[in-house]
Structures are given as C-alpha cells and as structure tokens.
Structure 1
Amino acid sequence: MAKRGHRPSQAVGNRPRFWGRHAVYAALDNPERTVRKLWITHEAASAIVMPKDVPTVYADVADLARLVPHDAPHQGIVCEADPLEDIWLGDLIEQGRDDDRPLVVLDQVTDPHNVGAVLRSAAAFNALGIVTQDRHAPPESGTVARAASGALEIVPWVRVVNLARALDEIAEAQYWRIGLTGEAPTTLATALKGGGKTCLVLGAEGEGMRQNTEAHCDVLARLPISDRVESLNVSNAAAIALYAVATRGG
C-alpha cells in the first residue's frame, strides 16, 4: 500500500488502473483482459463472485481512495490490468463485412471523458468499433473506463498512425464516410439517405475536424441543432449521430 499522503498515478508502467463497479466487473469478465491485481472492501466483495485467479487485497475505503484520482468514485473496488492487445483496422473491417454496423472515427479527440462516453454510445447503438490516432487520443485509463461504463471491454478500439490513410481503407471497404461539422449545408438525415455502411467522423470540440480529415470524407453533414447553442459536446454529437444511423428508414 502507498504511504499515507502519497497519491499514486492511475497506472503503473503502462498498466491502467480501473475503479468503480461497471469498469472493474467488465474488466474481470473480459477474457481478453488480464487483471493483475484487485483491491476491494469486504462490503463490495460480498456483492460479487470473487475471481479465484486474481491476487486480491482487502482494503478499507481510505486505502482505495489513495489508489485513484482525487474524488474518483471507486465504489469499493479497484483493479490493475494489462492493456488490451492492439486491433488492426483491417481485422475490424473484416468483422463487419457482412453487416451494416457503423464505424466511428475520432479526429484528435483527446479528452478521456469524451472518448469513454463515445465508447458507451458505440456499445448502446451496436457500432462496429471506434478508430483514433495513436498519438492524439488518450490511452486506456480509469477515466476512460469509468466514462465508458464497461464499454471499453466490449467495443473494439483501433489506433492508427495516419487517419487519412485509415479513412482511405475504410472507403475501400465500401463505407460512406460522413464528417460531422456545424458549417455543413447538408443535414445528417439527408446524408444518411443512401443507406449502406456508414462511417461517422467527428473532430474535437472547438477545433473540429482538421482540413485533411474533412477532405477524406464523402460528405460533410450537420446536426439540426438550435442556433441558441454554438455546438454540442463531441460525445453528445456521436450519440445523436449513432441513433440517427440506427433508426434511419424507421
């Protein structure tokens, strides 16, 4: 245990540390995830079937609070795990070859809360997966996992070196690439009328998509929001767009 007054980081080396029931339970249930250590209160342990193959430390609430960021809602359970294995874009596209599940591409969305929320929406609306750059996106972390509420373990997350090349590969797989931007003359509903496979491309809040990313979209579209607000948070926009894809033609 850490000494009193010292707050460790969310990860040891490159191992993320997760907290909260949804994030930790999902990590424990994921056969692709190796959980290295579990800290848990006796009260929290009484509510679950304890894993037999994970080294476990029974701790009190104050001990757990020192393992996570300030005021993080750990709910009596924290774990440390290995990062998931990398996923290749080509393998993900192959998984969706025979269905119309949408892809979500995030262009330099660096806020872990936003990425986690997008993962949660991707799970809710049965997206094939999300694609980000490797250098301009957050790593796996407790913050991402908490915001994703378990979706980090079930939604494939592909990291690519070059987003433009990734969008070219996505186009070759017959996806219609729709870039969301508030300045577009076309609404998302109109852009979706063609049907078929859909790739939603979203940029960071404020900066939006980079020009080169926009150039690799088939169409730019906007959500029909009121002029009383300038824009939506990127995770909210992703949720609305995924809902639109799921319900088009309905």
Structure 2
Amino acid sequence: MPGNSQRRGAIRKGASKKGATVGTGGHRRRALEGKGPTPKAGDRPNHKAYKSAQRPGSGHGGAGRSGGQSGGRKSRSSTEIVAGRNSVLEALRMDVPATTLYVAGRVDSDDRIREALKIAAERVIPILETPRGELDRLTDGAVHQGLALQVPPYDYAHPGDLVNPEAPGIPLVVALDGITDPRNLGAIIRSVAAFGGHGVIVPERRSAGMTAAAWKTSAGAAARIPVALAGNLTRTLQDFHKAGFFVLGLDMDGDVELPGLALAGEPLVIVVGSEGKGLSRLVRENCDQIVSVPMSSAVESLNAGIATSVTLYEIARQRAKL
C-alpha cells in the first residue's frame, strides 16, 4: 500500500511456482557502493603477498633469495640470502657486501663456522643467533647447515655516470644484451677491470644482476668497476652515440674480425649478446660495427665472458701502441 512504512521492498511477480517474492529494497546494491577500488595484493593484510613483504630482509624489508632477478629492475633492490657453510664462507672471503650473518642456535661448529664468525667480526658484520625454524624461513627452505648471509641491494650507477671525460685513458664501456648468468656478469666485470675498462651496463629486464654469485666471480673487481642500470638499452646506446662513443657489437657473424678493428683508439661501448640468441635486432641496428672473434671451425661459439675478455685484451693491446 502506498505510504505504508512497513513496506519491506518491491514485490516481484513472475512465473515462479512459489508465486510472488519479496525483494531486498535495494539493500544489496547499496551495500556495494562506496568501497572504492580493490587494494593491491601487497596492501591487503590477509594476502600472502602482504605477509611475504613483511618478512625481515625482503625487498620491502623482507628476505628474498633471488637477489633481485625479477622483471623491472628497480625491484633489483631486493636483498639476497646466501645459504650454506661453503657458500657463506666463500662470499665472506671474497668481500661480498653483507648486512647480517645468521647462525643457528646450538649449531655444531666446525672450521667453516669459526672462520665465518672471525671474518664477520673483522668486517663488523652483525652476527645474529637465529632459531632453526626462522633460518629455514629466511632461506626459503634451502640447505643452510645453520649458516646464512644477508646481501644488501646493489647500488647501481646511472649509465650517464660512465660518460666521464676526466676518467684516465680512452673511455671503454661494456654493455650486456640478454646475459642472464650472473657468473658471466662477474667474469666480464673482472675482465673490464683487468683491461682498463670504465664500467658495465646491464638492462633492467631479462639480464643478470649483481647477485652474490656475480660478486664472487668478479674476484673483488665489482668493488672497483661501476655497474649501471639501463631502463632501455637501445636508448642508452643512442645516448652514448651522442656523447661521441662508437658502439661495437660482438657476434660470430661480424662484419669485422677483431684483429682488423680500426676503432680501438676511439671511445667505445662493446655490446655483448647472449651465447644462444646473440644480439637483439634493435641493439644490432644501433651498432656502428659488428665484430667477431676469429676461431677454429671446430668451435661454434665462445662463452660470452670469454669472448668479452678476448675483445678487451685486443683493444688494450692496440691502445698500448698509440
């Protein structure tokens, strides 16, 4: 009845065998109003993404094991956990940066544990006795043997920092295109330091980052050679062109063989592609020359780190004659 204050809702008439039914009066519709967009997973306390982010030592204050190997590489700022007595001791011996050494409570000590504790104390690295259950969680279930090391985020340089007219010698930079093995990155950093290079560039995506493995393979060179992060490698190479650099791509099907390289005395960016796919199309198009290392026909290709080392040696040899 019109004006009836007891009206609960509209009466819906239909062909239902149950006859007319009472509606909600819009209660359900109004209940959905005014709540706004759904929060991101990391902002919802009951979501596993939120809980993961709250773990001590991860990328947002929690512990991740990847060392920042995920996609957009500003997220390379996540920390890394090195687990296991041999791995931790080797990292400490190679001066890999570390923020905390975790030692399980009541762990059976051996020479590796004692040496790790000694090095950590000398380097003033905090040592934290940790319950085994917590250590299992921090290492994501890895075999830690009662010992783990937290490696902080690497402080990447900007590619523009490598264009330094005051740097000694003729500028020489190495850029990586699709190199995903951090040990190759570490070996290349070591070669850059050995042959007078000034820095290394890695792309934000689909590329190895500065993990503990890269630090160890560099044999300490990572402390001296800056590694820059490029949001877009193609545009970065174009910027180096504008700064007066020649860009040389390394590929087994190069236009120029290494001994015949005529640009060794110029400011150079050497671009190294992956062993399997080589240089990407856009990167290749932005190279002034494609250079190959002459090899015996019995060998199909060289490891990226070895090819880079051979190339840098030849450039250093030619520059020494200038």
User: Could you tell me which residue of structure 2 aligns to residue 109 of structure 1?
Assistant: 179
User: Could you tell me which residue of structure 2 aligns to residue 50 of structure 1?
Assistant: 122
Assess, with a 3 A threshold, how the Cα gap between structure 1 residues 9 and 87 changes in structure 2: closer, same or farther: closer
**1: CA distance, partners of 2:119 / 2:151:** 21
**Aligned pairs, how many?**
231
- Percent identical among aligned pairs is 24
Per the TM alignment, residue 27 of structure 1 is displaced from its structure 2 partner at its CA by 4.3
Q: In structure 1, which of residues 125, 128, 132 is the aligned counterpart of residue 202 of structure 2?
A: 132
Unaligned runs of 5+ in 1: 1-7
**1: CA distance, partners of 2:294 / 2:181:** 25
> Contact 2:202–2:209 (CA<8 Å) still a contact in 1?
no
CA RMSD of superposed structures (Å): 3.3
Which secondary structure does the structure 1 equivalent of 2:200 belong to? strand
> Contact 1:24–1:78 (CA<8 Å) still a contact in 2?
no
Assess, with a 3 A threshold, how the Cα gap between structure 1 residues 68 and 236 changes in structure 2: closer, same or farther: farther
Per the TM alignment, residue 14 of structure 1 is displaced from its structure 2 partner at its CA by 1.2
Q: In structure 1, which of residues 141, 153, 158 is the aligned counterpart of residue 228 of structure 2?
A: 158
Which secondary structure does the structure 2 equivalent of 1:132 belong to? strand
**2: CA distance, partners of 1:136 / 1:48:** 33
Which secondary structure does the structure 2 equivalent of 1:165 belong to? helix
Per the TM alignment, residue 113 of structure 1 is displaced from its structure 2 partner at its CA by 1.9
**2: CA distance, partners of 1:227 / 1:149:** 32
Q: In structure 2, which of residues 92, 105, 116 is the aligned counterpart of residue 24 of structure 1?
A: 92
Per the TM alignment, residue 139 of structure 1 is displaced from its structure 2 partner at its CA by 3.0
> Contact 2:247–2:270 (CA<8 Å) still a contact in 1?
yes
1:216 equivalenced with 2:286 (yes/no): yes
Assess, with a 3 A threshold, how the Cα gap between structure 1 residues 237 and 38 changes in structure 2: closer, same or farther: same
- The amino acid of 2:65's aligned partner reads S
Q: In structure 2, which of residues 248, 251, 257 is the aligned counterpart of residue 178 of structure 1?
A: 248
Q: In structure 2, which of residues 291, 306, 322 is the aligned counterpart of residue 236 of structure 1?
A: 306
Larger radius of gyration: 2
User: Could you tell me which residue of structure 2 aligns to residue 202 of structure 1?
Assistant: 272
Assess, with a 3 A threshold, how the Cα gap between structure 1 residues 70 and 78 changes in structure 2: closer, same or farther: closer
Unaligned runs of 5+ in 2: 1-63, 69-76, 104-112
Per the TM alignment, residue 109 of structure 1 is displaced from its structure 2 partner at its CA by 0.9
Normalising by the residue count of structure 2, what TM-score does the alignment of the two structures yield? 0.61
Which secondary structure does the structure 2 equivalent of 1:241 belong to? helix
Deviations 1:59-91 (A, max 9, x none): 9xxx99x9599799x9x9853132122311112
1:79 equivalenced with 2:142 (yes/no): no
**1: CA distance, partners of 2:224 / 2:194:** 11
Normalising by the residue count of structure 1, what TM-score does the alignment of the two structures yield? 0.77
Per the TM alignment, residue 49 of structure 1 is displaced from its structure 2 partner at its CA by 6.2
**2: CA distance, partners of 1:96 / 1:165:** 24
**2: CA distance, partners of 1:197 / 1:77:** 46
> Contact 1:132–1:158 (CA<8 Å) still a contact in 2?
yes
